[in-house]
Amino acid sequence: MNTVHVAVLGGSGYTAVELMKILLRHPQARIVAVTSRERQPVSDYHPSLYGRIDLQCEPFDPDLLQKQGVQVAFGCLPHGTSIEAVGPLIARGIRVVDLSADYRLRDPALYAEWYGETHHDKHNLSHAVYGLPELYADHIRTARLIANPGCYPQTAILGLAPLLQKGLIEPTGIIVDSKSGVSGAGRSLKLTTHYPECNENFSAYSVGKHRHAPEMEQILADAAGGPVQVLFTPHLVPMDRGIFSTIYATPTRPVAETELLAVLRQFYAGKPFVRVRDGLPATKDTAHTNFLDLTVRVVRGKVVVLAAEDNLVRGASGVAVQNFNIMHGFPETTALL
Amino acid sequence: MNTVHVAVLGGSGYTAVELMKILLRHPQARIVAVTSRERQPVSDYHPSLYGRIDLQCEPFDPDLLQKQGVQVAFGCLPHGTSIEAVGPLIARGIRVVDLSADYRLRDPALYAEWYGETHHDKHNLSHAVYGLPELYADHIRTARLIANPGCYPQTAILGLAPLLQKGLIEPTGIIVDSKSGVSGAGRSLKLTTHYPECNENFSAYSVGKHRHAPEMEQILADAAGGPVQVLFTPHLVPMDRGIFSTIYATPTRPVAETELLAVLRQFYAGKPFVRVRDGLPATKDTAHTNFLDLTVRVVRGKVVVLAAEDNLVRGASGVAVQNFNIMHGFPETTALL
Amino acid sequence: MNTVHVAVLGGSGYTAVELMKILLRHPQARIVAVTSRERQPVSDYHPSLYGRIDLQCEPFDPDLLQKQGVQVAFGCLPHGTSIEAVGPLIARGIRVVDLSADYRLRDPALYAEWYGETHHDKHNLSHAVYGLPELYADHIRTARLIANPGCYPQTAILGLAPLLQKGLIEPTGIIVDSKSGVSGAGRSLKLTTHYPECNENFSAYSVGKHRHAPEMEQILADAAGGPVQVLFTPHLVPMDRGIFSTIYATPTRPVAETELLAVLRQFYAGKPFVRVRDGLPATKDTAHTNFLDLTVRVVRGKVVVLAAEDNLVRGASGVAVQNFNIMHGFPETTALL
Amino acid sequence: MNTVHVAVLGGSGYTAVELMKILLRHPQARIVAVTSRERQPVSDYHPSLYGRIDLQCEPFDPDLLQKQGVQVAFGCLPHGTSIEAVGPLIARGIRVVDLSADYRLRDPALYAEWYGETHHDKHNLSHAVYGLPELYADHIRTARLIANPGCYPQTAILGLAPLLQKGLIEPTGIIVDSKSGVSGAGRSLKLTTHYPECNENFSAYSVGKHRHAPEMEQILADAAGGPVQVLFTPHLVPMDRGIFSTIYATPTRPVAETELLAVLRQFYAGKPFVRVRDGLPATKDTAHTNFLDLTVRVVRGKVVVLAAEDNLVRGASGVAVQNFNIMHGFPETTALL
């Protein structure tokens, strides 16, 4: 069987360890390199991998990765750092699935506005493919650079795209009220994620200022065929993992739940990782899986979409492997069920 | 000093134990009776009260309560059961602070619609006072029967009433997206509140069907001077206590955050338990207190109000004692700071 | 490839859903039947399995299971109920991995003493094999009936057996102080596992009376070649899963940590699921895996063994599949990494 | 009424905020100063105090504190820093309740051994009183310097002292297996207390090396009238607050639970904050209170003492105020019920 040699860039964080666990179960992937600023065994960063992976983290070196035969690199680096690694890899013929936000916004001006820095790799940006398989599988297949989608945006996009595409909801006045487990904030130490601060606590953050809002709007505009406007409010939930989004939209005409559910079901038929359910979703039903669960209600004249996913798997490392599978013609579900 | 003899009805649940802890600190209240279906020591129900209260729970008997000199009864009974107790107490001259929902909706037809039963104590319903001190202190002072407000409604009402009163937001299209800790679901055993089901889980429930929606609408209509329409979505958060509401409304004209904050600050000046803050609230800042914390933002043309409280204290037992204080002319903050 | 048809008995609980998730990943197992008292889809019991398993639970019927071609039945029934199912299955040539406690204690008198009932299947009891692969792999291979080991006992047994076997610690005066996540208490509703009761709480239970004590003693006696005496104290930890045991024993002679670690390492060489570590274990390093992590310290003249595992995987369903693999000559780690 | 002016040193941490909440309820204490390295409002450090305290933190300055009329200073500083503050305060006639470990070990050599630094305030060390009211109330009354006891040691000392005093248990071979909520690790950021690391995790730390072991031994030696030897194992529990200790000791003669319970009850008669219970304690029963709950069992020939407390209240700030009350002749329970 064909085995693809892969590297994990930025091996010390939560998306990296989740990714490595999935890849270790993948019969056609072999992790041949893990990078990090510190030279130390991968299992020192992640004791859960003790005895399961025998690699030493090495500082990023594209020549070395090429010499090691890396065919695909998964970037688990922070935005701004990732952009430095992608160019050299693409130049060496290594395909990249970039889990950072550096190649998600197509318009460099939007990147500059929301990320506070000029985008200095416009060349690769121009051919990057937004890695949401349910919408862009055809482009993913042949992509050299995948911009792996953000965790929050996936819930909003997969919940709304079918309804916008059919013209069933207005493209303005959309509210995405999202709630995320704490692992979404990463492994860097911050007071807000210090246990006694966020445990037994619920709070909002970055109200109206979160960088995932323009990402949602960009992709939903594809579906709507015109501009979409989203008010996005993220919140922090005292749990490890999971995102739940409660999404409010205005129907363009009186519409029944059954019709909306049917539209969603039709759209996701044959797509193995989106489950349209009659009942209300819950993050725990999706925990440690690549499933995104959806349902829809009509209340007081509004359409209410409810979506749940695991932020580390579906929201990051699982969908990255789903993209990897599509890129190589492997069954889409390999290592993900 | 004047001491008021009080009874706690329905002593086995979470609002009851919270109430007793507050009352035990109250220099002018003495708990003389606790009722429950089972005859057993209060501290058997609540080991945290071991050594602090020496009473035995007794089945509800209004004559006995009268004989024990009870002047005020706090009802911690479920709705439908509470209504059976209130009439006999009022008839015996005992004032009641009813923490159930039985006397909150003024319109019996609305009660029948949402609670599925005809309201058969219309007489007392007609003079019950909705016990939200920041809005109805004048009526609370002399009330014989207080309908203690619901936990969720307080966040929506205190967040929106000042803005509706000033005509700054539209009375329709209001969305209240609320998140509650698990104690809000009570002490009765249910699969949804079994630890391994709701821990590390976030979910919505009763979407568009929760009984607190008409309660919010009724009280907000007082403030707005006309009908108000609320879409209410409650969610369950894996934590013991705390409610956080993210509230979306449409301004009637372009408006700045500073103006909205000033309106809130002016409204709550001199009201000790509502804290209008510049920063975002968080449930933990209000945990185990009677404070309700508020702020407001303007995002993408919408007004976003964010409110946090402790559902057991501010949302139930604390505000009950605040009402008790007002009823007796005690300083409003007695036993609550 | 050879596919084994399996049934899951008692499909509604936590060990059953964990087991089904593992079996769904197993290339040589096919779940053909799931039993439960209620006839309803498996995914109604377990929404996480929505779209992943299309079976309906059926009441237990050994003839039907035989007709469905079941070769191995995994029993996830409570003790006392399990015993009723095992006999009829064995009689029909169906091999059983019983996750209940019914066939763990070899001495029926001990069963009667600790479980309060006479053991009325002494015939099958006499040939049941205790399913701890690291100790009894040879017997597991050919067993018709596996008594899958208890969650707590595995930590004590795997931690102590090598040291007892070598005569390095005294067989008496052993203290096993264990801490378990709440899923270990099962899915039946109880006040002690109601979220607001056990969240943010730590407590001991069944002090000196837990049924896993005689199980530990029985198996450790095999290793020691004589009676072993264990004082076992279980505690409940506010988390979903994980068991941590801190075990105190008296060395038979002055001994160094390095020697003890070497003995453990030698014993578990080639055994893929026991990881002897230099550092202190933590339950999270083993969460959702079949690993049991161990280390040992010498403090104030005592040997302190520290062990961690996931109670649902290693402690129940994972080790059940490990036994299943050994029974069929599959690689021991199939579906478990 | 007599009001005591107090200062809180090191106002940014968890014991400080807990202490301030208690002091704000104390009718005879007025907080007149809070110190911290940064000049900023107390409520910026602790949003829960918003609107409740109007002080600005100031860098430590003993002259300023004297000028502000401070009569008692509560030290919430880390050990090693605290020692720098105590001398200057005592010299100015300010009594100190020091919550750090700097004055707990009477023997400077022991301090040097366990804290890695020479103790350079032997003068004050020589007259410091260990602030455990149930044992040393007489000395506390007149003390100028109180060494407030450690959180873990209180559970061991209050659980064992009565039994050692009566000669009912051996002074050697004692095992204290303790479990603590995360707030015990303080507010400084560490990977081990980063939410996604310690949530849903249970682990041991500092096995055989924790500084509270010599503190236990020193005080228990007072009770035993001779040296005591303790093997102490602390663990981290995924919850905010609470310590639970399971303590194993060897009886000096066969002894019944009832006798042991009677000894404990007699010892703590009239001591309002130690509750000897028949049932097993649980941390949640003591949460947010100054109670320490105890019981005892006899299992397999060992005495097992089980103790629970709130580490921030009983374990630190609550007992500090209990000491303060005794020092001033206030009722011992003032502000603590």
Place of tokens 């290693």: C314
Q: What is the pLDDT of residues D27-62, one digit of tens each?
A: 999 999 999 999 999 999 999 999 999 999 999 999
- Longest CA–CA span in chain A (Å) reads 61
C130: closest CA of chain D, how far (Å): 25
- 0.85 surpassed by complex ipTM: yes
Query: What are the tens digits of pLDDT across the range C59-118?
Result: 999 999 999 999 999 999 999 999 999 999 999 999 999 999 999 999 999 999 999 999
Closest CB to C24 among A51, A284, A337: A337
Nearest chain C residue to D205, by CA = C280
Chain C residues within an 8 Å CB radius of D151 = none
The answer to whether the Cβ–Cβ distance between A248 and B246 falls below 8 Å is no
For residue C196, CA distances in Å to A182, A311, C238, D295 come to: 21, 26, 10, 23
Residue of B nearest to D200 (CA): B200
Chain D touched by A190 (CB under 8 Å): yes
- CB-based contact A48 C200, cutoff 8 Å: no
- Reported as a single tens digit per residue, the pLDDT across A163-222 is 999 999 999 999 999 999 999 999 999 999 999 999 999 999 999 999 999 999 999 999
Strand, coil or helix: A255: coil
Q: In degrees rounded to 5, what are phi and psi of residue B225?
A: 75, 30
Show residues of chain A in contact with B217, CB under 8 Å: none
Distances (CA, A) of B284 to A183, A237, B241, B297, C109: 19, 12, 9, 20, 53
In the structure, how many helices (H) and strands (E) does chain A have?
Answer: 13, 13
Full-model pTM: 0.98
Residues of D in contact with A200 (CB under 8 A): 240
**A265 contacts chain C (CB < 8 A):** no
Check CB contact of D246 with chain C, cutoff 8 Å: yes
β-bridge pairing D274-276 and B57-58 = unpaired
With tokens 């803005």, the residue in question is: B163
| B157 contacts: CB under 8 Å, gap ≥ 6 | B132, B135, B149, B216, B219, B220, B223
Residue appearing with tokens 């649902």 = C312
D151 is catalytic: yes
Task: Report DSSP state, residue B10.
Answer: S
- Report CB contact under 8 Å: D277, B50: yes
Interchain proximity D299–C246, CB inside 8 Å: no
Distance from CA of D44 to the nearest CA of A (A): 13
CB-based contact (8 Å) between C67 and chain A? Answer: no
Q: What is the C-alpha to C-alpha distance for residues C177 and B4, in angstroms, rounded to an integer?
A: 49
Are the CB atoms for A25 and A335 separated by under 8 Å? yes
* Contact yes or no for C45/C12 (Cβ under 8 A): yes
- The C-alpha of A24 sits at a distance from chain C's nearest C-alpha, in angstroms, of 8
Instruction: Write the DSSP string, A191-225.
Output: GGGBHHHHTT--EE-STTT-THHHHHHHHHHHHHT
Which sequence spans correspond to the domains of chain D? 4-127, 151-310
Band of residue B2 on the pLDDT scale cut at 50, 70, 90: confident
> Which of helix, strand or coil describes residue A263?
helix
May I ask the CATH architecture of the domain A151-310? 2-Layer Sandwich (3.30)
Q: Mark which residues 266-305 of B lie under 8 Å from D by CB.
A: 275, 277, 279, 282, 284-289, 291, 293
CA distance B158 to B274: 8
CB nearest D50 (choices: B200, B277, B288): B277
Report the relative pairing of strands C302-309 and D4-9 from DSSP bridges: unpaired
Interchain CB distance below 8 Å, B191 and C193: no
Given an 8 Å threshold on Cβ–Cβ distance, is D240 in contact with A183? no
Q: What residues are paired with B304 via a beta bridge? A: B248, B297
Chain B, nearest residue to C194 by Cα: B194
Query: Which chain B positions have a beta carbon within 8 Å of A312's beta carbon?
Result: none
Asked whether this chain's domains B4-127 and B151-310 adopt the same fold, the reply is no
Residues of chain A found within 8 Å of residue C198, distances taken between Cβ atoms: none
How many residues does the structure list for chain B?
337
Q: Which two tokens stand for residue B151?
A: 């936990």
Residue of D nearest to B275 (CA): D51
Active-site annotation holder among D57, D76, D151, D198: D151
CA D189, CA C325: separation in Å to the nearest integer? 45
Q: Which CATH class is domain A4-127?
A: alpha beta
CA distance A179 to chain B (A): 8
Closest-CA residue to B295 (of B287, B285, B305, B310):
B305
pLDDT in tens, A65-85: 999 999 999 999 999 999 999
Burial annotation A180-205 (CB, 10 A radius, 16+ → b, else e):
bbbbbbebeeeeebbbbbbbbbbbbe
**How do residues A95-142 score in pLDDT, each as one tens digit?**
999 999 999 999 999 999 999 999 999 999 999 999 999 999 999 999
For A156, the 3-state DSSP assignment is: helix
* pLDDT tens for chain D, residues 1 to 337: 589 999 999 999 999 999 999 999 999 999 999 999 999 999 999 999 999 999 999 999 999 999 999 999 999 999 999 999 999 999 999 999 999 999 999 999 999 999 999 999 999 999 999 999 999 999 999 999 999 999 999 999 999 999 999 999 999 999 999 999 999 999 999 999 999 999 999 999 999 999 999 999 999 999 999 999 999 999 999 999 999 999 999 999 999 999 999 999 999 999 999 999 999 999 999 999 999 999 999 999 999 999 999 999 999 999 999 999 999 999 999 999 9
Contact B279 D25 (CB under 8 A): no
The predicted pLDDT at position A1 comes to 58
In whole numbers, what is the pLDDT of chain C averaged over residues?
A: 97
CA distance C67 to chain A (A): 29
Closest-CA distance, A280 to chain B, in angstroms, reads: 7
Residues 6+ apart with CB under 8 A from A48: A17, A21, C284, C285, C286, C287, C289
